């Protein structure tokens, strides 16, 4: 069968590998870290850094198509891989979403709402940005942030110096603080032929900057769900995207604002494993392999809950609940803040 190459061997790569195997594909994981969670289920694993040209060449030679589970793939590695095999989602999606400034500018140019923002490279920039945007605001590193890392609150202009120090000299962006009612996300897919399928928006609750739960259906009016899905479709089309995309949104009295986009399967889409016939992982594999997309329709109400750190100790108890599907990532060490698994609990038929 065909082989799908996956850059990154974390839990997303692992669940992509499971979905690929179910559709008859082999997977080859490329991951610098030792003992990647995806290694347990993939056909093949290469443990090598992203500057190892020989390893990248051999990896590309062994696969038919390349995808990834994270957006921070080093540029030189991408240049090399791209010259050897097709990569989906493509370069434009990666370049846009790797940098919060590029991302927000792209969204604004598409006519979508975002928090007000300004680039910050110096104390002068920050003073000017605070002048324009006001407080409260959030200073974020432009690149490499996840799970709320690389962010500092600016409650008043007095916080400016400390917030800038938190960036450790990295290029940053100041965002106005959005007074949202709830957070939702749309997980949507676009196939090689341009067809689009979206999952129902989920309602997200974060704890300590990390996603805690996603609930479907989200408690928002039907018209807003349609807005969210159409907006995701516009992003997919603008990027000529192939694969699954996650769009994080703030619900405000003025409508939807886009927080960020992720060019990959997304933690807030894990509920689809239990709520849909084709989940986000299958949908992504279908798209990158050039298959028709599956049906994104939802058949059940579901709550997804992340198992973070010591939450893993609850598994014996969770295993007694027949309505709960358990997904563990096979990570040996339960460090605080580390995503160890998740559970999808069916709360009823689709409402
Ligand atoms: P992820 O793990 O989702 O990639 P991240 O580190 O990229 O997270 P963001 O999604 O930008 O960070 O922010 C994390 C959370 O902080 C958001 O889900 C939201 O709850 C809150 N937040 C971020 N930006 C804003 C904002 N401008 N206004 C209000 N709240 C915000
Ligand atoms: Mg993010
Ligand atoms: Mg986020």
- Average pLDDT of the chain is 97
* pLDDT tens-digit map of 166-182: 999 999 999 999 999 99
Angle, vertex CA 202, rays to CA 199 and CA 204, nearest 5:
150
| Residue 323 belongs to a domain | yes
Domain annotation covers residue 199? yes
The residue contributing the CA closest to ligand 1 atom 7 is: 146
Residue among 10, 116, 148 to mutate when testing ligand 1 (max atoms within 8 A of CB): 148
- Number of structural domains the chain divides into: 3
Residue 284, both tokens: 């992504």
The answer to whether 157 touches 137, Cβ cutoff 8 Å, is no
User: Does one domain contain both 53 and 127?
Assistant: no
Residue at a domain's end among 66, 87, 108 = 87
Indicate which atom in ligand 1 lies nearest the CA of residue 137. 27
Range of the domain at 75: 3-87
> Is residue 166 domain-shared with residue 221, that is, in the same domain?
no
Choose one of 176, 198, 219: the last residue of a domain.
176
8 A C-beta contact, residue 114 and residue 257: yes
Q: What is the mean pLDDT of residues 228-235?
A: 98
Number of Cβ within a 10 Å radius of residue 148: 15
Nearest protein CA to atom 2 of ligand 1, as residue: 147
Residues 67 and 169 in one domain: no
Q: Is the pLDDT of residue 1 over 90?
A: no
Instruction: Summarize the annotated binding site for ATP as residue ranges.
Output: 100, 140, 145-151, 175-178, 183, 206, 259-260
State both tokens at 57: 């060449």
Question: Model confidence over 18-58: pLDDT tens digits?
Answer: 999 999 999 999 999 999 999 999 999 999 999 999 999 99
Residues around ion ligand 3, judged by CB within 5 A, are: 248
Each residue's pLDDT tens digit, 147-162? 899 999 999 999 999 9
**Whole-number pLDDT of residue 323:** 95
The CATH number of residue 21's host domain is 3.40.50.20
The CA-atom distances, in angstroms, between 57 and each of 51, 64, 76, 101 are 11, 13, 13, 32
Give the 3-state secondary structure of residue 80. helix
Q: Identify the residues whose C-beta falls under 6 Å from ligand 1.
A: 115, 138, 145-149, 175, 177-178, 183, 206, 209, 248, 259-260
Distance of CA 129 to the CA centre of its chain: 28
Is the same domain home to 204 and 171? Answer: no
Give me the pLDDT at residue 26, please.
98
Which pLDDT score is estimated for 342? 98
pLDDT cut 90: percent of the chain above it? 99
165 Cβ contact list (under 8 Å, min separation 6): none
CATH code, domain with 150: 3.30.1490.20
- Residues 67, 194 within the same domain: no
pLDDT digits 0-9 by tens, 193-211: 999 999 999 999 999 999 9
The arithmetic mean of pLDDT across residues 187-194, rounded, is 98
Q: Assess if residue 109 is contained within a domain.
A: no
Q: Do 271 and 147 fall into the same domain?
A: no
- pTM (predicted TM-score): 0.97
Question: Taking a C-beta distance cutoff of 8 angstroms, is the pair 171, 140 a contact?
Answer: no
CA distance 32 to 27: 16
Q: What is the pLDDT of residues 310-320, one digit of tens each?
A: 999 999 999 99
Residue 40 DSSP code: G
Q: Are residues 264 and 303 in the same domain?
A: yes
User: What local confidence, expressed as pLDDT, does residue 186 receive?
Assistant: 98
Q: How many CB atoms lie within 10 A of CB 249?
A: 29
192 falls within a domain: yes
Report yes or no on 108 lying in a domain: no
For residues 172 and 197, membership in a common domain is answered with no
């Amino acid at each position: 069968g065909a082989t799908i190459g996956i850059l990154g061997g974390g839990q997303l790569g692992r669940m992509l590998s499971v979905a690929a195997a179910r559709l008859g594909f082999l997977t080859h994981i490329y991951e610098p870290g030792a003992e990647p969670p995806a290694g347990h289920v993939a056909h093949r694993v290469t443990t090598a850094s992203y500057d190892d040209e020989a390893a990248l060449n051999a990896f590309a030679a062994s696969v038919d198509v390349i995808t990834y589970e994270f957006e921070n793939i080093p540029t030189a590695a991408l240049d090399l891989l791209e010259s050897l095999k097709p990569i989906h989602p493509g370069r434009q999606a990666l370049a846009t979403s790797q940098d919060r400034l590029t991302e927000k500018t792209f969204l604004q140019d598409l006519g979508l709402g975002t928090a007000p923002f300004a680039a910050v490279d110096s104390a002068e920039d920050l003073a000017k940005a605070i002048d324009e945007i006001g407080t409260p605001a959030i200073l974020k590193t432009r690149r490499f942030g996840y799970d709320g890392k690389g962010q500092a609150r600016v409650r008043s202009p007095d916080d400016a110096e400390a917030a800038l120090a938190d960036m450790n000299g990295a290029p940053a962006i100041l965002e106005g603080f959005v007074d949202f009612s709830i957070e939702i996300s749309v997980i949507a897919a676009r196939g090689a032929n341009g067809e689009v399928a979206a999952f129902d928006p989920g309602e997200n609750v974060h704890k300590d900057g990390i996603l805690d739960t996603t609930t479907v259906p989200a408690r928002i009016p039907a018209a807003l769900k349609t807005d969210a899905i159409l907006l995701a479709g516009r992003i997919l089309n603008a990027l000529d995207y192939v694969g699954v995309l996650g769009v994080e949104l703030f619900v405000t009295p003025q409508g939807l604002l886009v927080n960020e986009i992720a060019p990959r399967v997304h933690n807030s889409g894990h509920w689809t494993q239990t709520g849909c016939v084709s989940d986000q992982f299958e949908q992504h594999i279908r798209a990158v392999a050039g298959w028709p997309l599956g049906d994104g329709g939802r058949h059940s109400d579901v709550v997804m809950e992340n198992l973070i750190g010591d939450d893993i100790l609850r598994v014996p108890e969770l295993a007694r609940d027949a309505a709960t599907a358990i997904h563990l990532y096979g990570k040996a060490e339960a460090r605080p803040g580390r995503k160890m698994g998740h559970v999808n609990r069916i709360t009823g038929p689709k409402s």
